[in-house]
Structure 1
C-alpha cells in the first residue's frame, strides 16, 4: 500500500483509459478468477497508527484496479472458522482512489465477496472519475479487526466477519457484501441521535456540504444503485450514512 510511478505519455494514458472503460462495460457479477483492469497499483506500507494521512501515495495515473485471491494469512483478524463465507469466496481489490488532498492515490485495498468484485470495480471507477474523495482504503485487519478503530481512522472498508450493530445476526460485512465509505463524514446515527465517535458528531448535520459526505441521490448513491446496492442513509430509525450493501441492510 510507496513511491510514485512514472507519468505516462498522453497516448499511453488514452490507451489505458480506453482499455479500462471497455473492461468496465463487460463487468458482471461472478469473479471466479483474479482479474485486472490495468497494471497493478503500487502498494504502500502500513502507517502504523491511524491519522489523517491517506493510506497510499499520490500518483499521476488514472484509475486502475486488480482483483486478487486472498489467503487466510491476509485476514488474520477479520476471518475465523464459522464465518458465513469461506476465504476462497473473498477477493482483494487493489485500486487507485481519489484522495482528500484532491489527488489520485495508488494502493487502495478492499476485501469483498468474489461474486461482487467486478461490479464494485465499476462502482469505484465511477467514483474515481467523479473525483469523489476517500480518506483511506485498507482492510480492517490493519486495525486488528476493530470496526471502531477503523472508523476512528475514517477508513473505507468492506469485509469483516462480525455481527450487525445491535443484532445477533451476521452483518452483510461478514459476507463481503457491504462497504462503509468515509465513516466519520458519514456516521452511524442511532435512533436516539447518538454517535459513538465524538470527532464525527459534526457530521450528524446532513445539511453540511463537506468533502467525502454522502447525500441522498448523489453520485455515490447513484453509483451503488447502478449495481443494485442499497444505502443505509435511507433506513428508518437508525441511519448508517457510510453503509452500502447488496441487500440494502
Structure 2
C-alpha cells in the first residue's frame, strides 16, 4: 500500500526583538528590591569604582536607583556615608594600633612612683653601746679590767646576820641575802680556826650562788641563794680553793 508524501516547508524563526525582551522582563517586586538594598555593596565596589569612568559610575548608580525605586541622589548619599564610615573605621583601627604600641613603655613609667626615703638610723634593743649593764659592754667610768691593788681598797662591812658558824661546807662561798647578794663570804677552816673573808662584787653584778661567781644582776635570783648553799659540796673538795683561802688568811680584816 503506497502512502503519499507531503512536502513540509521549514521556516526560520527570527529572534525576539529588544522591545519584546524588555516587555517580557520580570519587573522588580518588593522582595527583590529589599534584597538588593540589603545586600553588600558588591554592585558598586568603592575600591574598584575608582578604576571606573565617571560615566560608568553614574550609570551604575542610576541602575541601582531604578532597581531600588529611589532617587540617584539617595544612592549617592548612601554610598558617600558608607565610604565615610569605612574611612573612619580604618583611621580608628590605625589609631588604636599606634596607641597600643605606645602604651607598652608607658605602663612601666606610669606605675606606682616609689620615692626613696633616707634611711634613718634605728636603735635596736641590745645594740652595742645602748644597753646598760650588758655583759662585756659596760664598765664604770675609770674602771680598769686589769686593775689590782692587792685588796688594799676596802669598805666597812654593813650589818648582816650571816655567820660562817651556821654553815656546813668548808671551804665554801656564800651569798649574803641580807646585803642583796652584793657581798659574798668565803668560809674556811684554817690553822687559825674558822675564817670568814667578805668580798664585794663589782658594780652591776651580784653573787650567783648557782655558779659561785659574781654575775650580772639580771641573771641572779638573790632570794633563792640560801636554798643553794649546798652547791658548795664540790668546792669543799677543791684543793685550789684551799690554797686560795690560805693566801687570803694572811690578810687581816
TM range (shorter): under 0.3
Structure 1 length-normalised TM: 0.23
Q: Kindly name which structure, 1 or 2, has the bigger radius of gyration based on alpha carbons.
A: 2
Structure 2 length-normalised TM: 0.23
Higher helix fraction (1 or 2): 2
